[in-house]
Structure 1
Amino acid sequence: MSTAAPRAAGPDHLWSVDEHLDDILATVRPLEPIELNLLDAQGCVLVEDVTVPVSLPPFDNSSMDGYAVRVADVAGASERYPAVLDVVGDVAAGQADLLHVGPGQAARIMTGAPLPPGAETVVPVEWTDGGLGAGPVTEMRARGLAPEGATGQVRVHRPAPARAHVRAQGSDVRAGDRALEAGTVLGPPQISLLAAIGRGTVRVRPRPRVVVLSTGSELVQPGEELRPGQIHDSNSFALTAAARDAGAIAYRVGAVADDPETLRDTIEDQLVRADLMVTSGGVSVGAYDVVREALSSVDDEDEPGSGIDFRRLAMQPGKPQGFGSIGPDHTPLLALPGNPVSSYVSFELFVRPAIRTLMGLADVHRPRARATLTADGALTSPKGRRQFLRGRYADGAVTPVGGAGSHLVASLAQANALIVVPEDVESVAPGTEVEVVLLG
């Protein structure tokens, strides 16, 4: 994987949301294609069209358990006057040597079995008496009247038109058709189709490997008892889950203490399994903002072109951000703020598009919609910042959930959209049409 260098800007430059996102997407490159077995390719993106080598189904076959017959032999059949046919044998699914159905004859056929020569249609077993067995044929054979190969008789109570209950060769896809086009994400139905047309492997861009770690000496693993001043680490869980939801193979490292050397060592250890690294916390200008301290000096002679640029963005929440590359392979790294809502909103706006770009997808963004704001009062927003508020979207309307605080995790769990308030808007009245980012 190769990355371009991120743009440089002065320390006092206030980046817009769009500038920061454009820089990320101009830097991150799609992963190189590889050939994978079908199940290993689930969730990956095709890099080439797939053509059908053999028609599907490859032969005419029965869609029902029943009897393969000639149309003329069952014309006019009824409950009162059934057509009585000699059963010449069975045709099972997978059978290669097919018997021939002649005038006055029928072949018992199973679902998926090939239509035997001479047969023109299939009558379901429910339209018959199920067959009378070999008794009548034994009598006829003793008298020298039984057709060669006959094993019994069946009474058919209903007529059937030509090719009734017959799946025609190529009725699903024909040889030479395009089964799947480049850019398709392979889910279970696509894997099924590839297997059905005989493809054992497929050329795809692999799912990106994303390593997630959070920083903070106050963070404790969920399930452990909290001591005074401690909180449970939720960011690494939220961001790992979000990376998997975006299509990545995500690895959660957990919380790293506020020690620059420990953080650098942890990141270096994790680079071997990372196509993208995501950190949360420690990106501001405080005395214990360890990510900034540890990674601001990462650009050195041993790794030319690498380095992390720490920025201020004109957005709320999520003003402090970091972006760049690290290590000998110039692995992209996005450093997100530590407040739970800030980190999650930052992930949706910046990390998710980066993951989707690595996958080779054409559309990397969450869908957006216009919605009518329903709220008890006007929404306020700081001038010059693009604000993203949690909201509940349904039927063309959106309602804010929770407040504007970047620590309000409970409200985030109730939201399925982000309400976007532009930089030049300081107040939004109820009933106003707003833009929303759909998270579900």
Structure 2
Amino acid sequence: MTKPPMLTAQQALEHLLVNAQVVAETERVAMQAALGRVLAEDVKSLVDVPPVDNTAMDGYAVRTADTQISGSVLKITQRIPAGSMGVALDPGTVARIFTGAPVPLGADAVVMQEDCAILEGSADQVQVNTTPVAGQWIRRRGEDLTAGKTALAAGIFLRPQELGVAASAGLTHLQVRRRVKVAAFFTGDELSLPGQPLKPGGIYNSNRDTLLACLRSLGCEPTDLGIVPDRLDATREALRKASKDHDLIITSGGVSVGEEDHIKPAVMAEGRLDLWQIAIKPGKPLAFGAVRKSDQTDPSNLSEAWFMGLPGNPVSSFVTFLLFVRPFILKLQGRDPSPPPSYWMRADFDWLKADRRNEFLRVKMNFQGGLDLFPNQSSGVLTSAAWGDGLLDCPPGQAFKAGDMVKYIPFNALLT
């Protein structure tokens, strides 16, 4: 029987995203608990930011009509620290003013203190040694935020800077989407957890810590179900357990067709499954489907938990998570699952062995503005990803030489 053609990365991703549906539940949380959450509704500012025109510098508030000649000498009639309001500025006078203080009525510029000098022997006479222009060093009312206007849009992943914007808008709580709940388990009798003695022929399970950390970096709520024995009954039981309270189940290993690979028959028994061969390297096998939720109290409950089975090799598992699991989760969260930013950069190495698959090479930016290649690109060498700071997206059948421009995707764009 003829094998179906391998899917391109884009074809696989399109199929995944068609199926993903946004988690509907939301909750209201205090600002201090909102980091790493996804905003469920637009945030409107309660105030103008800044609330009044204020100075961006320590210096002197002036009328430009009085300072058209460098060296003008004017009288200091008031002192305005931040948090205080001055009085209207009379012609021929200036106000000593400090960063953040409201600009007094009548002043139309601020001259920083480095451009001014107090006349010797005088406490209230200042020489302005420049010719300021109107608006200089003044932050206008509402130039950052305007009361009643949207400060943050729904679907934003809340980083520290977004929380700062919400706070400046006067908010104390935010409406966010429920965290996507993801269960993860790992198959392979050769696996041991770090800290345990290694079995003969065994290895430590690196995929567990890598994938759980990836899930946390995306703001998910992960559940670690550990290592599952290479038995069909144990795999089915793990799937039933994982389906109960989770939106998505992720596994690593066991998605091939060998006698000890039980993921495929287990998922098919507990739900439905597509096993894809994707034309990428590293990665190739990817399983996608759904597992019926176990609900003993309501036999009519037909809801499902999504399932994604990743390869067992550590680099393959990591790369397929970034390329396919991440955008799927973003859509569940109500975020934009569009491809991450990529940049055309110069390759500082030759790549002459073109592959028929879309390759994702582990690379690092160098101080000359180009990209260096990790020498061992094996799917089992996870140090290539720790050494690198991104992936080089090499199209199928394409070779290149040092000096050619290539597509670079930084890891920091793939882990948020």
Q: Is this a same-fold pair by TM over 0.5?
A: yes
The alpha carbon displacement at 1:339 in A equals: 2.3
Contact 1:57 1:170 in 2 (8 A): yes
Contact 2:278 2:285 in 1 (8 A): no
Contact 2:57 2:98 in 1 (8 A): yes
The alpha carbon displacement at 1:33 in A equals: 6.0
* Distance in 1 between residues matched to 2:42 and 2:332, nearest whole Å: 19
Alignment of 1:272-291 (within 5 A): 274-291=246-263
Task: Report the more deviating stretch, 218-227 or 263-272.
Answer: 263-272
The alignment partner of 1:169 has SS state of coil
The question of 1:208 aligning with 2:199 is answered: no
Q: 2:16 aligns with which of 24, 28, 42?
A: 24
The question of 1:92 aligning with 2:57 is answered: no
Contact 1:387 1:421 in 2 (8 A): yes
Alignment of 1:228-239 (within 5 A): 228-239=200-211
Q: 1:437 to 1:23 in 2, by over 3 A?
A: farther
Contact 2:145 2:169 in 1 (8 A): no
| Residue number in structure 1 paired with 2:125 | 155
Q: 1:190 aligns with which of 162, 165, 189?
A: 162
Task: Report the more deviating stretch, 31-40 or 326-335.
Answer: 31-40
Alignment of 1:385-424 (within 5 A): 386=357, 388=359, 390-392=361-363, 401-402=375-376, 406-414=379-387, 416-417=390-391, 419-420=393-394, 422=396
Q: 1:226 aligns with which of 177, 198, 203?
A: 198
Contact 1:391 1:419 in 2 (8 A): no
Contact 1:352 1:365 in 2 (8 A): no
* Distance in 1 between residues matched to 2:169 and 2:272, nearest whole Å: 47
| Residue number in structure 2 paired with 1:63 | 56
* Distance in 1 between residues matched to 2:407 and 2:103, nearest whole Å: 56
* Distance in 1 between residues matched to 2:64 and 2:284, nearest whole Å: 76
Q: Which amino acid aligns with 1:309?
A: L
Contact 1:390 1:401 in 2 (8 A): no
The alpha carbon displacement at 1:15 in A equals: 5.8
Contact 2:342 2:410 in 1 (8 A): no
Give a deviation string over 1:326-359, Cα, whole Å, max 9, x none. Answer: 2434121111222223323332332122112212
Alignment of 1:39-188 (within 5 A): 39-46=32-39, 48-68=41-61, 78=71, 82-87=73-78, 90-95=79-84, 98-99=86-87, 101-102=89-90, 107-117=95-105, 121-122=109-110, 124-126=112-114, 127-129=116-118, 153-158=123-128, 161=132, 164-175=136-147, 177-188=149-160
The total of aligned residue pairs comes to 390
* Distance in 2 between residues matched to 1:368 and 1:181, nearest whole Å: 24
Contact 2:351 2:399 in 1 (8 A): no
Q: Percent identity among equivalent residues?
A: 32
Contact 2:41 2:155 in 1 (8 A): yes
| Residue number in structure 1 paired with 2:300 | none
TM-score by length of 1: 0.70
Contact 1:308 1:322 in 2 (8 A): no
Q: Rg larger in 1 or in 2? A: 1
The alignment partner of 1:94 has SS state of coil
The alpha carbon displacement at 1:24 in A equals: 2.1
Q: Which amino acid aligns with 2:49?
A: L
Give a deviation string over 1:343-401, Cα, whole Å, max 9, x none. Answer: 233323321221122122334334567889854753455xxxx3535353767878684
Superposition RMSD in Å: 4.2
Contact 1:247 1:355 in 2 (8 A): no
Q: 1:194 to 1:230 in 2, by over 3 A?
A: same
* Distance in 2 between residues matched to 1:83 and 1:421, nearest whole Å: 68
The alignment partner of 1:297 has SS state of helix
* Distance in 2 between residues matched to 1:21 and 1:74, nearest whole Å: 63
The alignment partner of 1:392 has SS state of strand
* Distance in 1 between residues matched to 2:138 and 2:351, nearest whole Å: 62
* Distance in 1 between residues matched to 2:128 and 2:394, nearest whole Å: 65
The question of 1:378 aligning with 2:353 is answered: yes
Contact 1:366 1:437 in 2 (8 A): no
List gaps (5 residues or longer) in structure 2.
294-302, 412-416
The alpha carbon displacement at 1:280 in A equals: 0.7
The alpha carbon displacement at 1:72 in A equals: 6.7
| Residue number in structure 2 paired with 1:322 | 287
The question of 1:365 aligning with 2:339 is answered: yes
Q: Which amino acid aligns with 1:56?
A: V
